[in-house]
A and B are shown apart, each in its own frame.
Chain A
Amino acid sequence: MYTAWKALVRKDVRLFFANRRAVLMSVVAPIAMASFFGYLFGGNGGQPEATRIPVLVVDQDGSPISRGIVARMSGDKALVLMPAGMEQAREAVRKGKATVAFVIPEKFGEIAARAFFGNAAKPEIALLYDPTHGAEMGMVQGILSGHVMEAVSQEAFGGPGSSRLVKDSLADLDKNSGLPPDLKPSLTAMLKAIGQWNAQSQGRPGASQAGLTVPFGTRTEAITSGTGIPYNGYAHYFGGMGVQFILFVGIEVGMGLLLQRREGLWSRLRAAPLSRSVLLGSRAASAAITSMFILVFMFAFARVVFGVRIQGSLPGFLGICAAFSLMTAAFGLLIAALGKTPEATRGIAILGTLLMVMLGGAWVPTFLFPQMLQKLTLAVPTRWAVDGLDAMTWRGMGFSASLGPMAVLVGFALAFGALAVARFRWEE
């Protein structure tokens, strides 16, 4: 019995490696896709360089305030700022070369400064943005508000035109009837005090820095396996794409069995004194071996090329790989058991696989899913595989964290396998 088992497994593994194109397809394709996604979403560590937003500025004002805004924006680490003309800016955003362009209109500085103290009409900064990058637009808008506030307030408190600004504001205040009369004296006093401050501080070192500033900064830290170890986007996507392509191996197992049945090979094997579980089990075992090979090869590649490390438990990682490989093999048997002809089965099997992959979070991490869906996808085996691999790689969890995913995957494997053996059409 063991001799036959061994020979059957060996045969399948030999057949897998004999088909160079298939091997290439199941190893190179997932590596290529994982590298691409990994590069796109996160890369390895420290995002800022990779994710600076290209922004264009059209300065139609040219006042000290507008120049101050441009200078501050240029210094921002999240942006790459370039000056541009109006038409040029529109064109660049339309073509996707710049994500956002903002336009500082003529007289912006003057009007903005006046609006700063009184309720004069507020000038507008136009933001042109690429509609596919709504999130970046919001970010640029936020950064811009901060810098405009600083630039305008600095000008108001001690800038070259500040004494005239205070005078104009006081004149506006006299004309303005909207303010309750009892409040007018206090505001007048405040503006006069500012005028006095400006007169005194003019030309004195250190004093010109006054003005309103955003009273806080932010520090971001991605929570990964430990302080100092940066998030590695490649780790997630190598797991995800590995899972996807190994499921494709599962499909091939199913297709292979259906083809063997059609070609009479299956009957020939059945003529030997072998139990059904040896026949199907050996196929599952060989599929698990090839799947395991693909996963390990992929992560070895990721390690050498992208520095992806198993930050968590190595046995846990291997265990999850093995459990998932088994699950896929059983999934392949199930396809063979439920499918009629290879042609009719392939399409539906691929659809099912892609659904599993998608719901499992291999394309888009599940934490981005709505709460409901996050709960529902716990019923999808791939979810456990992807989460488990994430846990063992960049999350750096210990062996105990691998037990849950492993148990669930082995459970699915047993359920699929049992169903496959029960439903497999032996005769024909």
Chain B
Amino acid sequence: MLEVKGLRKSFGPLAAVDGVSLRARAGEMVGLLGPNGAGKTTTVSMIAGLLRPDAGEVLIAGRPLGGDTDPAKRNIGLVPQQIALYEELPAGENLALFAALYGLEGSAGRRAIGSALDFVGLADRGKDRVATFSGGMKRRLNLAAALLHDPELLLLDEPTVGVDPQSRNAIFDNLEALKKRGKALLYTTHYMEEAERLCDRLVIIDHGKVVADDTMHGLYRLLPAANMLSVELDEAEDGAGLDALRRLPEVQSLEKRGAGLRIGVRELAATPKVLAWLLDHGYSYQHVASERADLETVFLSLTGRSLRD
């Protein structure tokens, strides 16, 4: 559905987007992940035809956009990072405007507006002015405005900033439903949990360059350790006695903080072996927890920088 090849855009001396390629198939949700200023919004703007690339190509359904009035733009639904709504108009009128921009009016328009408001849980607020909405409600309406014309490709630029967890979950469920209906989604965020939960594939960019493009599973394979075991020992161990644990083939890393241990293992299946080793060597413990290495770790290991710096 979407294919991006070698996109470049510079603002003066700054290469905001420096050779980005990515693709999103129908029924697929691709995460575009990167820290502030990585070039996510610039990339999305070029895909939506708002910004002319310096180089590279954007194909929507196999065809490049042919100018401002290209009807192929109807295939795209853009949820901009900045809330783009008329504060002084009621929510319903905002949606009516955006529907009309895509040629929807009359009963078709009203139907589209009704279901979009439902989609974001604002069905009872259609008559209220946007200025009276909370930040999260505006975000949700901002998202609804992109769905009216039922586009095949959704470009979501940080659509859930400031939305409370409950509404966010509702939105996620709905996005999943859209995916099942065969829409292609490009989801820009720097919330790793969102990306992990929603996306089939992740494109990580930094300084305008793609540093990784893979499935979650593939990304974890890039990590030295995919799982972290936290073990709390009964007594702090300062000696070198634990160093032998590192020699187990399953153990990839070991960190000591007083009585706390963090042990990196490639697979969760290795856990019993590690725990047994501890007991065998006289280390008793009270509390064990296991967590998957997250995207934060992935990003850190790929760029040496934290995702939220």
Contacts and interface: CB of A to CB of B under 8 A. Distances in A.
Interface of A: 3-4, 6-8, 10-11, 14-15, 18-19, 263-265, 267-276, 427
A4 B52 CA distance: 24
A264 B84 CA distance: 6
Interface stretch (B93-101, B115-123, B158-166): B93-101
Given A11-B89, A271-B76, A4 B51 contact: no
Residue from the set A15, A19, A270, A273 with the largest chain B CB neighbour count within 10 Å:
A273
B69 A3 contact: no
B89 A427 contact: no
Given A11-B97, A18-B89, A263-B84, A273 B78 contact: no
Interface stretch (B42-50, B206-214, B273-281): B42-50
A258 to B, nearest CB: 15
B71 interface: yes
Contacts of A268: 78, 80, 84, 98, 145
Given A8-B97, A274-B69, A18 B50 contact: no
Contacts of A275: 68-69
Interface in B58-80: 68-74, 76, 78, 80
Contact of A11 (B86, B103, B104): B86
Contact of B51 (A14, A263, A274, A427): A427
B86 A271 contact: no
Contacts of B302: none
A14 B101 CA distance: 16
Nearest to B50: A267
A272 B102 CA distance: 6
Interface of B: 45, 48-52, 68-74, 76, 78, 80-86, 88-89, 93, 96-98, 100-105, 145
A4 B101 contact: yes
B50 A427 contact: yes
Contact of B96 (A7, A264, A265, A272): A7
**Secondary structure of the B side of the interface?**
loop
B45 A7 contact: no
Given A7-B96, A11-B97, A269-B101, A264 B80 contact: yes
A265 B100 CA distance: 15
A274 B83 contact: no
Contacts of B86: 11, 15, 265
Contacts of B97: 7-8, 10-11
A265 B51 CA distance: 15
Nearest to B51: A427
Contacts of A10: 97
B101 A272 contact: yes
Residue from the set A19, A272, A276 with the largest chain B CB neighbour count within 10 Å:
A272
A274 B45 contact: no
Contacts of B93: 11, 14
A263 B101 CA distance: 19
B89 A271 contact: no
Contacts of B72: 273
Contacts of B100: 3-4, 6-8
Contacts of A269: 101
A104 B72 CA distance: 93
Nearest to B155: A271
A273 B84 contact: no
